[in-house]
Amino acid sequence: MSDRKGFTLIEVLVSLSILAVTLILTYRVISGAISASNRSDRWTAAAYLAEKMVLETIESFPEANETEGKFQPPNDSYSWKQMVRATAHPDAVEVTVIVSWTSDGKTDQVSVTSLSVKK
């Protein structure tokens, strides 16, 4: 046996390999969490915009129609489509708002539907 103290080259390479794998896995987990957070923020904003538009529409008793457009800045990355349809009852209409957006080349959408009743 030798009286030298320290690590062999193999021990150093193995520990560096373990450290590299650990850092790569940590990076992937953190970037996945950030991506999920960004997706959640976009879904939450779209749901809020759709609900707000539905509530504004059902305050009055709207006529049956279909309209679409884009939201004003800072929400101009979202577009909307509003459909007001007649129902079986003449004093009620169905209001549907679909908010859509494109992120990373993929289009997502949120749909909110409610009824408006004549007062």
Strand extents, DSSP E, the chain: 65-70, 78-86, 92-103, 106-117
CATH architecture of 9-117: 2-Layer Sandwich (3.30)
pTM for the whole structure: 0.76
**So where are the chain's domains?**
9-117
| 102 alpha carbon, distance to own chain's centre | 10
Residues 77-118: tens digit of each pLDDT: 999 999 999 999 999 999 999 999 998 889 999 999 999 998
pLDDT digits (tens, 9 = 90+) for 16-57: 999 999 999 999 999 999 989 999 999 999 999 999 999 999
Give strand pairing partners of 82: 67, 97
